[in-house]
Amino acid sequence: MRALIQRVTHAAVEVDGREIGGIGPGLLVLVCAMQGDDEAAAAKLAARVAKLRIFKDDADKMNRSVLDIAGEALVVSQFTLAADTRTGNRPGFSAAAPPEDGRRLYECFARDLSAQGVPVQTGEFGGDMKVSLLNDGPVTIWMDSADRA
């Protein structure tokens, strides 16, 4: 699975002009299930996100996790993280998991992150969402469950 993680002051997601999820300080996590991903990949990525130390400590160093600051997470499905832009001008998305697997693994990731102790809000899988955020820093981190044993 892939995730683009942004440290935020606040973030929200709307569908049809109605806010369906919103958080204060914490993480906006855009998530994409890839071909061949499974529940173990979702759990592994959720654990890494929960423990990712990208919040400042008293010495102004990035040493605190979302758990350490009692922050929240807004988890939004984002199949375009699977974009292949190596050829042509139109990205391809064939590396993304099929929609039924993508939905299952997105929901699994959100549950696993919540089980780590992070309060989680979500977007709407496959929905036409409008995401707003105030990136703090800015701090934006890319993670892929396949990058680490």
CATH code where residue 109 lies = 3.50.80.10
149 domain-assigned: no
- Which domain does 25 fall in, by range? 2-85+94-144
Indicate whether 30 belongs to any domain: yes
3-state secondary structure of 84: strand
Structural domain contains residue 28: yes
Does residue 37 lie in a domain region? yes
Task: Give the integer Cα–Cα distance in Å for 103 and 109.
Answer: 10
- Reported pTM: 0.95
Q: Supply the DSSP symbol for 89.
A: S
By annotation, the residues acting in catalysis are 78-80
Look at phi and psi of residue 127 and say left if phi exceeds 0, alpha if psi is from -120 to 50, else beta. beta
Instruction: pLDDT band for 148, please (50, 70, 90 cuts).
Output: low
Tens-place pLDDT, residues 44-101: 999 999 999 999 999 999 999 999 999 999 999 999 999 999 999 999 999 999 999 9
Q: How many domains does the chain have?
A: 1
- Read off φ and ψ for residue 15, nearest 5 degrees: -130, 130
pLDDT, position 134: 98
